[in-house]
Structure 1
Amino acid sequence: MWQDKYQQTLAQLEALVHDQVVPALSYALFEGDQVWTKEQGWAQLQPTREALRPGMFYDLASLTKVLATTPVIAWLVQEGQLHWDDPVQKYLPELKGQSVTLRELLTHTAAIEGYIPHRERLNQTELLAALLQTEQFGPNAKRNICYTDLGLIFAGLIAERVTGVPIQTLATRVLFAPLGLASELTFRPQPNETVPTAITAHRGLLRGEVHDPKAAVLKEHCGSAGLFGTLTGVLTYVQALITTNLNGLLTPASVAMMFSDQTALPGEHHRAMGWKLFTSRGTPRHLIASHTGFTGTFLLIDQQTKQGLIGLTNRVHPTGHNQAYLARRDQLFATYLNEKARLE
């Protein structure tokens, strides 16, 4: 069988659950129309054990940035409502500091800095105001890459200023509903259909509500986290992205910007619009898009060869202090890229 070519990758995926590094894991390995999927483990360990059921929703965390916010921005650019090199302050004049563009928000080169005291005590209105009045674009803007949630939060707020519709509502209208995926990719899952994440002192067991604390307060206004998805939903979306440009919702040029370096910095810096890039290890060399989420989710997608690896897990259950997973994930990425290279 074709997936036997990925023996080490599959073994490392299985070991994540077997070695109790993560409670649950749903993954997909695909090459074109050939797909291998598996869902296994425990949806919940505490306060009681609950087996993972096929089709459960995961908190996708920062995958929201590339599955929702980035393509919505690309769609608005196509519609002529935005331009990649528009100044951010044109839409969010409250923000101070260096002049940066929408491109720099999505490539994480905007050098956003600022500290909001007692952020965890603020309500939605207060946090939105604090983000716009306290954060600013520092002197390192356009000089280096610094990954941050805030760039995609600001991008989402720009989309809302332009359309009058909150970014999460907009993503459902523009992307998920037209793709027929609104029941598989949602910001409002049913708790009993969702894999729990952390048990926290202030919020208790998080199930069906976003793990990220900023997203929990900002709700529909948050473009950095908040999306929940099933393995089927994420797989269908990803395959549509690389084969049909989301069924024609995006142009080939828009999608190409997610798989090529888009920084304005000298040289190559492996940052596309929203996505981080890896260089393939086969020949000829080309770029592969990737993204991870704090809850343990990850994507590795090769548009050129129509191959990919999707992993959904709840590595933050029952606690977010799970550093062992991060090392295993990095090893898994390297193994997959090496095995994939031998097939190219």
Structure 2
Amino acid sequence: MRVQNLNRFSEVKLSSLVKSCYYIGMRSFTTLPTLIFLLANPVSAQDHPESSNDLSEELEYQLHGADSLVSSWVDSEIIPGAVLLVSKSGETLLHKAYGWSQLFSYGEGQYKDNSPTPNSLQKLDVPIPMLTNTRFDLASVTKVMATTFAVMLLVDQGLLDLDVPIFTYLEDFRGKEKDHITARHLLTHRSGLQQWQPIYYQASNPQESYEVIRNLPLEWKVGEGYHYSDLGFMLLGMIVQEVTGDRLDNYLADQLYSPLGLTSTGFIPKPLENKGEQGVEFASTSHGNPYEHRMVHDLDFGYTYKRDPNQWNDWRLYTLTGEVNDGNSYHAFSGVAGHAGLFSNAEDLNRLLNLLNHNGAYGRKRYLDVGTVEMFWHSHKRPLGWQKSQISNTVIFSHSGFTGTFVASAPVERLSIVLLTNRQNKGLTGNGRYAELAALEQELLQTLTSDLRLPREYN
């Protein structure tokens, strides 16, 4: 960020500006970067109707609103804890931890009779505090922060064609309708594949999992409508391995995460035999997999499993900490899958978002061609891998994860938002579901995108 002529601030009292920034810092906003942001982006009356002091007040108001919003959800115990990070043009404006990384332990569990009761869990006498560098199980945020990135890299290198049948790479993935499925269909959830199945009922490793998916009938015609599918991203992870000869986690570590300096991002963050171990490094998630158990056993829950639900019974009976929540990723893919399994913290995720916001470059290095980023985000009505929405004139690309994670980017404004929660640690409610976070995510976006455009001279 370049520092412009400070004479433009002749009408602003510097002491007042510093006082305002200090107030932001006292609310856990990053004081120095915020001060630099305000000093480096002066606004003349000719260029913008607000004064530079108004800009600082607007930022303070919006960041305070975001802070208060997340605090209210934690204080009301809807979620045990959270980490929020907001950055603009690469400068972190807010990075704060709330509540607890673990508030409940397994107790009696929540598998009973498909009618879980919250009080069957054990509330910790001494909860574990959430930290700003706490690592989270990202669940389906894996789809964009791992698998989609890997596909982008391969497209960028000319190693993967999104519009040829996927049997080009997975040679025995054939069938009258399946022959028409492309990687683009998988990325946009239009492949016709089933949305979810407990693959672990029939498979215990990636090869067996592939065979199960390959033999499943399609649920819809290829290209017929949007049907969000975990299975499609499982296949994308396998395609990455077939093309590169390297497993998804190793490929990303070598080609993206390590070069970017990400120290808290990766799959299988600790040996799987350390089951239920408590520690401040990871946010605890669910207490076993009672939600998936109900998906299979309760026909009225909204999912269909046509086989015997009792043919498999290796359910985890402990609180998950540093171990992937998703049953298919854990049991069928050993923790490394294209749909789920990635762990990270807010700072690393913010760096990945900033790379996309800056059209594939970070620091002085280019990781993706500008055209590749354009292709995945802007060349189609529906972006590739991501979900697209709009608030007023702000276009937002985002993705959420079942564990309570959320990432969002407004590339024109170069705004990045990372919200990580451990909603599952509070357990299932009486209706057998976890706390719904869509309202929190939407209000957070509205709070932070009302008017955060850069002054004209900065662009």
The answer to whether the Cα contact below 8 Å between 1:219 and 1:226 also exists between their aligned partners in 2 is no
Which amino acid letter does the alignment assign opposite residue 203 of structure 2?
L
Kindly report which structure 2 residues correspond to 1:227-238, keeping only aligned pairs within 5 A, or say none.
Answer: 227-238=342-353
2: CA distance, partners of 1:27 / 1:114: 30
CA drift of 1:171 comes to 1.5
Contact 2:329 / 2:341 at 8 angstroms: preserved in 1? yes
Any idea what SS the aligned residue of 2:145 has?
helix
- Between stretches 18-27 and 80-89, larger displacement belongs to 80-89
Distance change (3 Å), C-alpha of 1:167 and 1:17: same
Match of 2:37 in 1: none
For the pair 1:130 / 2:212, whether they are aligned, the reply is yes
CA contact (8 A) 2:200 2:327 kept: no
1:15 corresponds to 2:72: yes
Of 191, 195, 206 in structure 1, the residue corresponding to residue 320 of structure 2 is: 206
Matches within 5 A, 1:211-222: 211-217=325-331, 218-219=333-334, 221-222=336-337
> Partner letter of residue 78 of structure 2?
V
1:83: which partner in 2?
161
Whether the 8 Å contact between 1:260 and 1:287 is mirrored in structure 2 is no
> Residue 57 of structure 1 contacts residue 189 of structure 1 at CA under 8 Å; is this kept in 2?
no
1:293 aligns with 2:391: no
Give the 3-state SS of the residue equivalent to 2:396 in structure 1: strand
Q: Structure 2 regions of 5+ residues with no counterpart?
A: 1-55, 106-123, 271-276, 290-314, 454-459
> What residue number does 2:442 align with?
333
Tell me the equivalent position of 1:239.
354
Distance 2:217 2:159 in 1: 25
Letter in 1 for 2:345: T
- Is 1:42 paired with 2:69? no
SS at match of 2:376: coil
Q: How much has 1:331 moved relative to structure 2?
A: 4.6
For 1:167-178, list aligned pairs within 5 A.
167-178=248-259
Superposition map of 1:1-344 within 5 A = 1=56, 2-32=59-89, 33-47=91-105, 48=124, 49-92=127-170, 93-96=172-175, 97-98=177-178, 99-113=180-194, 119-120=200-201, 122-124=203-205, 125-136=207-218, 138-139=220-221, 141-181=222-262, 183-190=263-270, 192=279, 193-200=281-288, 202-203=315-316, 204-217=318-331, 218-219=333-334, 221-243=336-358, 245-247=360-362, 248-260=366-378, 262=380, 268=381, 271-282=382-393, 287-321=395-429, 325-326=435-436, 328-334=437-443, 336-337=445-446, 339-344=448-453
Aligned to 1:224, what secondary structure does the other structure show?
coil
Unaligned runs of 5+ in 1: 263-267
Say which is worse superposed, 234-243 or 21-30, in terms of deviation: 234-243
RMSD, aligned α-carbons: 2.4
Give yes or no for contact 1:88–1:101 (8 Å, CA) kept in 2. yes
Deviation at 1:309, TM superposition (A): 1.8
Shift of 1:223: 0.7
1-structure distance, mates of 2:233, 2:344: 19
Q: How many residues matched?
A: 331
Q: In 2 relative to 1, CA 243–208 (structure 1 residues): closer, same or farther, beyond 3 Å?
A: same
CA–CA separation in structure 2 for the residues paired with 1:40 and 1:220: 28
**TM-score for both structures, normalised by structure 2:** 0.67
Equivalent residue letter for 1:185: T
In 2 relative to 1, CA 121–314 (structure 1 residues): closer, same or farther, beyond 3 Å? Answer: farther
Asked if structure 2 preserves the Cα contact closer than 8 Å seen for 1:68 and 1:175, the reply is no
Partner SS, residue 177 of structure 1: helix
- 1:225: Cα distance to partner? 0.8
CA change 1:334–1:5 in 2 (3 A) is closer
The share of aligned pairs that are identical, in percent, is: 25
Q: In the TM superposition, what whole-angstrom CA distance separates every residue of 1:13-62 from its partner, at most 9, and x where no partner exists? A: 11111111111100112222242110121111123321223311100111
**Structure of greater Rg:** 2
Output the TM-score relative to the length of structure 1: 0.88
Deviating above 6 A after TM superposition, structure 1's stretches of 4 or more consecutive aligned residues are none
Q: Sort the Cα spacing of 1:114 and 1:325 in 2 relative to 1 into closer, same or farther, 3 A.
A: closer
Change in 2 beyond 3 A, CA 1:221/1:324: closer
Q: 1:189 to 1:324 in 2, by over 3 A?
A: closer
* Contact persistence 1:61–1:226 (CA under 8 A): yes
Structure 1 residues 246 and 59: alpha-carbon distance in aligned structure 2, compared to 1, 3 A threshold: farther
**Alpha-carbon separation, structure 2, partners of 1:36 and 1:109:** 37
Q: CA deviation at 1:175?
A: 1.1
Q: CA deviation at 1:108?
A: 0.9
Deviates most, 33-42 or 215-224: 215-224
Contact 2:248–2:336, Cα closer than 8 Å, also in 1:
yes
Amino acid at match of 1:5: Q
Shift of 1:127: 2.5
* CA shift in 2, pair 1:246/1:211, >3 Å: farther
Once residues 216 and 25 of structure 1 are traced to their aligned partners in structure 2, the CA distance between those partners, rounded to angstroms, is 24
- CA distance in 1 between partners of 2:236 and 2:400 (Å): 19
User: What SS is found at the alignment partner of 1:330?
Assistant: helix
Quote the Cα distance in structure 1 between the aligned partners of 2:233 and 2:348.
22
Give the whole-Å Cα distance in 1 for the aligned partners of 2:411 and 2:361.
Answer: 13
